[in-house]
Amino acid sequence: MAKDKLLSPNFCYILAANFLLFFAFYLLLPVLPFYLKEQFMAGKSMIGFILSCYTLACLCIRPFSGYLLDTFSRKPLYLLSYLVFTIIFGGYMIAGALALFITLRIVHGAAFGMVSVAGNTIVIDILPSSRRGEGLGYYGLANNIAMSFGPMAGLFMHGTCSYAFIFSCSLISGSLGLIMASLVRTP
C-alpha cells in the first residue's frame, strides 16, 4: 500500500513560513538587550521586564487563539497575525520612547502567540492524516533550525551591523514568511 504524499507545495510553503517566522524572532532575541541598554539606557531589571512582556502576551493570547481559530476562518487569522508580527519589526526601528517599545513588545508577543497557534492548526489541516506525526515532526524541526541559526546570525550582525539593519533583516524574514504563508491553500 502506498503512503500518502507528505511533501507537497502546501507543506513546503508552511514549512518555509514557519522557519522564517521563527528566524525573524530568534535573529532579534539576543540583540534586544544590547539595543535596549544602548538606545534607552535600560537597566537589567527593565530589560528583563521588557523581554518578559512579549512572553506574557504570547501566553495570554493562546487560550483565546484556539477558540478564534475554531470559530472563524483560519487562514485570514493566520495571515493577519503574521502581518502584525512582521510589521512590529519596523515599529521597533522608529520607537523613540521606552513606553512605546514596551507596547510594541506586548502587541508583538500577542501576534506571535496567535500566528504560532494558527500555523500549527493549519499544518494539521493540510497534512494527510496517515502522516500527521511525521509531518508535525518536520514542522517542529523548522523551529529548531531557526533556533539554531537565528541567534548566531543576530549576534554576528550585532558585531558588524547597525541595529536598523538587524531589525530590517527580521522585517525581511517576516515578510518573506508572510509571502510563503499566503501561498498555503487550506481546506
Q: What is the pTM for the complete model shown?
A: 0.95
pLDDT in tens, the chain (187 residues): 557 888 999 999 999 999 999 999 999 999 999 999 999 999 999 999 999 999 999 999 999 999 999 999 999 999 999 999 999 999 999 999 999 999 999 999 999 999 999 999 999 999 999 999 999 999 999 999 999 999 999 999 999 999 999 999 999 999 999 999 999 999 8
Residue 25 lies in a domain: no
What residues make up the domain containing 50?
32-183
Whole-number pLDDT of residue 6:
86
User: What is the DSSP secondary-structure string of 99-167?
Assistant: HHHHHHHHHHHHHHHHHHHHHHHHHHHHS-GGGHHHHHHHHHHHHHHHHHHHHHHHHHHHHHS-HHHHH
Q: How many domains does the chain have?
A: 1
Task: State residue 171's pLDDT score.
Answer: 98
Say which CATH number the domain at 79 has. Answer: 1.20.1250.20
Note whether residue 22 is domain-resident. no
- The pLDDT of residue 2 is 58
Residue with cell 511525521: 134
